[in-house]
Amino acid sequence: ILPYIAGFLDGDGCVMMQLVYRHDYILGYQIRASIVFYQKTQYKGFLVWLKKKLRFGYIRERNDNISEYTIVGQNEVEKVLKLLQPHIRLKKRQTKLALEIIKELKSVKRFTPNILLQIAKKVDQFGKLNYSKKRTNTSKKVEAYLKTKNLLSP
């Protein structure tokens, strides 16, 4: 069953690491890990089955007749990617990079502006791997924010 789910992720899914602006965060940004599976809403039952198998996340229906099954959070994404990694073919680089970033995030004892910026630069690589067109939060934007708040040491 895991090879089947990995194939579905390769074809109709996405592995993402994103920089998300958060006004309530001292450093202004959060690094969000997520996996999303997409399917026409008429086949949403498949996403329900998938959610039962993976036991994380939520399903939502979009206005364009597409449903999404989304898993968000470092721990959940890490567990699912480790299960699927041996079977993933097309998204090997995204999977490997996401697991590296999650490992790095978990190893941080004290999150500093410099550490955030260092990891944000790795997150930027997802823009290229996922052919992202709408990506607006980048390490450059994080760096500019940290400088305006005088949080970045030279």
Which residues have a catalytic role annotated? Answer: 11-12
Q: d(Cα 83, Cα 80) in Å, to the nearest integer?
A: 5
- 43: its two tokens: 């086949």
Cβ-based neighbours of 92, under 8 Å, separated by 6 or more: none
Half-sphere exposure of 86 (CA within 13 A, CB side): 4
Cβ atoms 126, 16 nearer than 8 A: yes
DSSP tally for the chain: helices H, then strands E = 6, 4
Half-sphere exposure of 33 (CA within 13 A, CB side): 24
CA-to-CA separations, 8 to 38, 111, 124, in angstroms, rounded? 9, 35, 25
Cross-strand partners of 39: 67
